[in-house]
């Protein structure tokens, strides 16, 4: 019954967010159906993007009167719903407030961490602090710098490789895993409380603020995008089931998501395993992949798996596959390669926030199904990328990390695309 209802709900997707030139010409034509909620924020939307979003809401929302199951909308978080990165903001706050706990051994924190990185971290942070106790990173600049070098650059302070080995580059990134593993030893609620403290600090800081963490300079502010908050609220009022699907640790997203009306049940992020009430370095698996050391994250193809598993209840290996229209989001929004798979899966509309990320922008500008929208960042937008995106040669990241051409669903290669929305 659920599948049948979702199929009925998906049936109206044929002519939304585009449909070629004709749809663009009629995006603003005619009154909206009665009782359809409308978008209120107009500033910041590029061209007729707002009108096309409204058209999609009118046609797919409960106001369309099509009945059936509620359509699903999925949003990435960092630099999609907010400006800047809440993982960076929380780690910076924790380092400045001595909240990172010394592990018993750095090598054990991450399966891909090199011996060089483990030695560098041990030398910089010392062994005087007992394992499980806070490192004095607010004053120990050397320790703080080494942690940030490994996280931000995937290299030690002396330039040696910090991570090595094999991993599926469309499912995980070692440094993304490692930041969640630095949170080990705290309870999920404690981590959420740290994120709330970082949230208050970053929302209070003026736009453009930068902060010193060790000797590193990091962004010192975060802002909710008014346009995305308005879009999320309007989608909810129109009957959409709206989820956040983030590559940040889930306890962090829980601190921020209520600011746009998203509750815990609609929040999906990296889920570290919990033992005796405390986070560990283990990470929950997805589909047919059991709990791991981070081989699967809510990253790229992993976001599809988590959406399929948690929202549409698709189990096992099938969760990694693109589903039928009844088991896919109607709308999705993202800003980077980490989002490209699930944003592309949407049936009625794909919103790409332009941060000059190659594969996402190749697919967005190619606009194969005429339902892609490209919008500049709402705060401090990126400048136009001068060279075309290398879609036909190196725009796609293969599972082994090598680069190749970006293919359409029909197998044809996407031509290099010029950056036109900035």
pLDDT of residue 325: 96
Question: Do 252 and 288 meet the contact criterion of CB atoms below 8 Å apart?
Answer: no
The domains of the chain are located at: 16-23+35-83+226-388, 86-219
Question: Do 171 and 285 meet the contact criterion of CB atoms below 8 Å apart?
Answer: no
Torsion of CA 351, 352, 354, 356, to 10 degrees: -170
3-state SS of the chain is CHHHHHHHHHHHHHHCCCCHHHHHHHCCCCCCCCCCCCCCCCCCCCCCHHHHHHHHHHHHCHHHCCCCCCCEEEECCECCCEECCHHHHHHHHHHHCCCCECCCCHHHHCCCECHHHHHHHHHHHCCCCCCCCECCCCCCHHHHHHHHHHHHHCECCCCCECECCCCCCCCCCHHHHHHHHCCCCCCHHHHHHHHHHHHHHHHHCCCCCEEEECCEEEECCCEECHHHHHHHHHHHHCCCEEEEEEEEEHHHHHHHHHHHCCCHHHEEEECEEEECCEEEEEECCCCCCCCECCCCCCCCHHHHHHHHHHCCCCCHHHHHCCCCHHHCCCEEEECCHHHHHHHHHCCCEEEEEECCCHHHHHHHHHCCCCCEEEEECCCCCCCCCCCCECCCCCCEECCCCCEECCECCCCCECCCECCCCC
pLDDT in tens, 361-419: 999 999 999 999 999 999 999 999 999 999 999 999 999 999 999 999 999 999 999 99
pTM of the predicted model as reported, rounded to 2 decimal places: 0.92
Identify the architecture of domain 16-23+35-83+226-388 in CATH. 3-Layer(aba) Sandwich (3.40)
pLDDT in tens, 52-99: 999 999 999 987 776 678 999 999 999 999 999 999 999 999 999 999
Rounded CA separation 120/324 (Å): 49
Question: Do 90 and 97 meet the contact criterion of CB atoms below 8 Å apart?
Answer: no
Please, what's the b/e burial string for 264-284 (b: 16 or more CB within 10 A of its CB; e: otherwise)? eebbbbbbbbeeeebbbbbbb
CA angle 264, 288, 313 (to 5 degrees): 45
pLDDT of residue 285: 97
Q: Which residue, among 352, 332, 421, has the nearest Cα to 382 in the 3D structure? A: 421
Q: Look at residue 30 and tell me whether its pLDDT is greater than 60.
A: no
pLDDT in tens, 1-19: 444 334 334 444 434 454 4
pLDDT in tens, 243-298: 999 999 999 999 999 999 999 999 999 999 999 999 999 999 999 999 999 999 99
Rounded CA separation 12/198 (Å): 42
Q: Strands 216-219 and 267-270, how do they pair?
A: unpaired
pLDDT of residue 108: 96
Residue 17's alpha-carbon distances to 258, 311, 361, 412, in angstroms, are 28, 23, 17, 23
């Amino acid at each position: 019954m659920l599948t049948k209802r979702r199929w009925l709900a998906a049936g109206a997707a044929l002519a939304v967010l585009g449909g070629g030139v004709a749809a663009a010409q009629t995006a603003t034509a005619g009154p909206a159906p009665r009782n359809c909620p409308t978008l209120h924020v107009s500033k910041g939307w590029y061209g007729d993007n707002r009108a096309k979003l409204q058209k999609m809401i009118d046609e797919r929302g409960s106001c369309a009167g099509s009945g059936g199951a509620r359509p699903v909308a999925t949003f990435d978080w960092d630099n999609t719903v907010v400006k800047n990165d809440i993982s960076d903001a929380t780690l910076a706050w924790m380092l400045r407030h001595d909240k990172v706990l010394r592990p018993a051994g750095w090598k054990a924190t991450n399966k891909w961490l090199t011996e060089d990185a483990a030695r560098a971290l041990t030398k910089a942070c010392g062994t005087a602090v007992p394992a499980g106790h806070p490192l004095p990173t607010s004053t120990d600049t050397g320790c703080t710098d080494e942690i940030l070098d490994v996280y931000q650059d995937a290299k030690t302070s002396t330039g040696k490789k910090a991570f090595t080995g094999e991993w599926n580059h469309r499912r995980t990134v070692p440094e993304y895993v490692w930041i969640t593993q630095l949170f080990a030893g705290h309870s999920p609620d404690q981590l959420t409380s740290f994120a709330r403290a970082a949230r208050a600090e970053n929302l209070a800081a003026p736009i453009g603020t930068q902060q010193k963490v060790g000797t590193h300079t990091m962004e010192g502010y975060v802002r909710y995008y008014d346009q995305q908050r308005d879009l999320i609220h309007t989608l909810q009022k129109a009957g959409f089931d709206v989820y956040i699907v983030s590559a940040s640790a889930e306890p962090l997203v829980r601190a921020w998501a209520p600011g746009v009306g998203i509750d815990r049940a609609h929040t999906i992020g990296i889920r570290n395993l919990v033992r005796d009430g405390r986070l560990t370095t283990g990470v929950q698996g997805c589909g047919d992949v059991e709990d791991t050391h981070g081989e699967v994250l809510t990253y790229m193809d992993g976001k599809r798996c988590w959406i399929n598993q948690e929202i549409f209840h698709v189990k096992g290996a099938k969760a990694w596959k693109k589903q039928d229209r009844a088991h896919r989001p109607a709308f999705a929004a993202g800003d980077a390669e980490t989002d490209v798979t699930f944003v592309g899966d949407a049936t009625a509309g794909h919103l790409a926030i332009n941060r000059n990320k190659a594969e996402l922008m190749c697919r967005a500008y190619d606009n194969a199904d005429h339902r892609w929208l490209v919008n500049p960042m709402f705060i401090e937008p990126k400048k136009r990328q001068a060279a075309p995106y290398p879609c036909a040669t190196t725009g796609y990241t293969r599972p082994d990390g090598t680069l190749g051409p970006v293919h359409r669903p029909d197998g044809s290669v996407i031509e290099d695309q010029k950056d036109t929305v900035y």
